[in-house]
Amino acid sequence: MTQADLVVVANRLPVDRVVDASGEPSWRRSPGGLVTALEPVMRRADGAWVGWPGQPDIDVEPFEFEGAHLVPVRLSADEVEKYYEGMSNDTFWPLYHDVIAEPRYRRVWWDAYVRVNERFAAAAAEVAADGAEVWVQDYQLQLVPRMLRELRPDLTIGYFHHIPFPAYGLYSQLPWRRQVLEGLLGADVIGFQRVADAGNFARAVRRVLRYATKATGITVPQEDGSTRNALAKAFPISIDAASYIELARRPDIQARAAEIREGLGNPKKILLGVDRLDYTKGIRHRLKAFGELLHDGRVSVEDVTLLQVASPSRERVEAYMQLRDEIELTVGRINGDFDTTGHTAIRYLHQAYPREEMVALFLAADVMLVTALRDGMNLVAKEYVAARVDNRGVLVLSEFAGAADELPSAVRINPHDIDGMKDAIMRAIEMPAAEQGRRMRALRKRVMDYDVARWSRSFLEALDEAKAARRSTSAT
């Protein structure tokens, strides 16, 4: 049986199951950024990855894929509904994103969440070698660190939280607020996107559990009366910048960017939004601001087009169905009011595209609009910047996205302030080339210096240090 020195535990395996024309199933690497980030680490370290294969009720034996050992965790259709769509995406997601949508607290969802977390913990415990490091990913698995520590006290455990951790006034709504904090504190290293998220977490720990915290350290009491130290700190995630640069330099992708502009009637300026269709992304606020700019006559459809890619997401969750209806109604109204036979105000695409096409879109866009009401990081902001190998283009960035901490040269907005956002969009549209260049160079420097490889390295270094510290304590 495989015993791995590094185990990644995530809701999803890094592969998608595809069935060919003859009905034969196979696995294809999924496009996600986490996969790219961890692939080299996994190869180096005899790595295993524990996760759900993405379809309910299928039994799959562990298998090797591109140098990693993959361990599938089975979920029934009922568990997908309660643990994933319910507890993860209809309770934690809205609560942790500042209650933009109302979180629903349902005890049957919680019960399924506990049960599924136990299953992930058990699978990780089985595959981890003696004294291995385990890296748990994200809000679907917040109870795993503690469960795993109980099963395997020899392991060093890390957890990374990809989404925000809310202020205590909101967090305290959670009926299971104590269990979740205890679950997370099973980890030796707890990583967040922003310094503020780590601060909110430490405050919740002080308020609910009364544990002492000091800077990034949390003193966790043990059953035997001793204490141990957990580190709760910001490790802002990033992208594989080099791969975006490579795509952006490809002549066929640059030609495609020109074709996209052509297809929109060669407007003077193209504004771009790229988001999963999610209420946290501020798509409605963005549409409102743009609609008003057209209404006020500050921009015209001949000169400016908004291209909005809203990739389908969580389509079985009620709040997402409602959001889609609202957005499509708004887009229809704005286009109905302002389109001409030759020009459209908003080109709306409820579709997912290959990465090549995304990069062509980035290259075609003069202004990138990231207007999230709350976002852990927002990788799209970083991808746009990396793709602008010409040092042109303007990033308009919400201060409520984690990326705002690292990208001060963007045009910063508060998406709730519609007038402020309208002015910022005008500033971006009218920005002289020299100023675009100055800002874009600074943005690109940050994204290239701090890429996803550096992110995973810095987290794993912290985990190594935690492991060394545990060894020296247990030796004394």
Helix 144-151 / helix 107-127 crossing angle, nearest 10 deg: 40
> Which amino acid would we find at residue 149?
R
CB-based contacts of 457: which residues, under 8 Å, 6+ apart?
none
| Euclidean distance between CA atoms 183 and 45, whole angstroms | 26
**Residue found under tokens 């700190």:** 233
Q: What is the DSSP string of 417-476?
A: -HHHHHHHHHHHHH--HHHHHHHHHHHHHHHHHS-HHHHHHHHHHHHHHHHHHHHHHHH-
Q: Given the complex with ligand GDG, which of 36 and 300 has the nearer CB atom? A: 36
Measured from the CB of residue 467, what is the shortest distance to ligand GDG in angstroms? Answer: 24
Q: Which residue has the tokens 């009401």?
A: 373
User: CB of residue 317 vs ligand GDG: minimum separation in angstroms?
Assistant: 14
Of 87, 124, 358, 425, the one binding ligand GDG by CB under 6 A:
358
Q: At what angle do helices 452-475 and 33-44 cross, to 10 degrees?
A: 50
Residue 344 near residue 301, CB atoms below 8 Å: yes
Q: Which stretch binds ligand GDG (CB under 6 A): 121-129, 194-202, 241-249, 354-362?
A: 354-362
Question: From the CB of 44, what's the least distance to ligand GDG, in Å?
Answer: 22
> What are the backbone dihedrals phi and psi of residue 15, each rounded to the nearest 5 degrees, phi first?
-135, 155
Token couple for 443: 């943005």
Contact with ligand GDG (CB under 6 A): which of 203, 206, 276, 343? 276
Which pair of tokens denotes residue 166?
């809310």
Is the Cβ of residue 3 or residue 36 nearer to ligand GDG in the bound state? 36
CB of 24 to ligand GDG, least distance (A): 25
Q: How far apart are CA 107 and CA 320, in angstroms?
A: 22
Provide, rounded to whole angstroms, the least separation between the CB of residue 402 and ligand GDG.
Answer: 6
Interface pick for ligand GDG out of 245, 352, 389, 442 (rule CB under 6 A): 352
Binding residues among 113-172 for ligand GDG as defined by CB under 6 A? 162-163
- Closer CB to ligand GDG, residue 162 or residue 467? 162
Binding string to ligand GDG for residues 307 to 326, with x set by CB under 6 A, is what?
A: --x-x---------------
Residue span 367-386 as binding mask against ligand GDG, x where in contact by CB under 6 A, dash where not: --------xxxxxx--x---
Closest C-alpha among 328, 315, 293 to residue 420: 293
Residue 267 CB, nearest approach to ligand GDG (Å): 22
Binding mask 228-257 for ligand GDG (x = CB under 6 A): ---------x--------------------
Within 25-44, which residues bind ligand GDG (CB under 6 A)?
A: 31, 33
The stretch near ligand GDG (CB under 6 A) out of 324-332, 348-356, 386-394, 466-474 is 348-356
Among 60, 99, 353, 448, binds ligand GDG (CB under 6 A): 353
What CA–CA distance (Å, rounded) separates 117 from 70?
18
Q: Residue 118's CB: how many other CB atoms inside 10 A?
A: 15
**Which residue ranges make up the site for ligand GDG (CB under 6 A)?**
31, 33, 162-163, 237, 274, 276, 309, 311, 352-355, 358, 375-380, 383
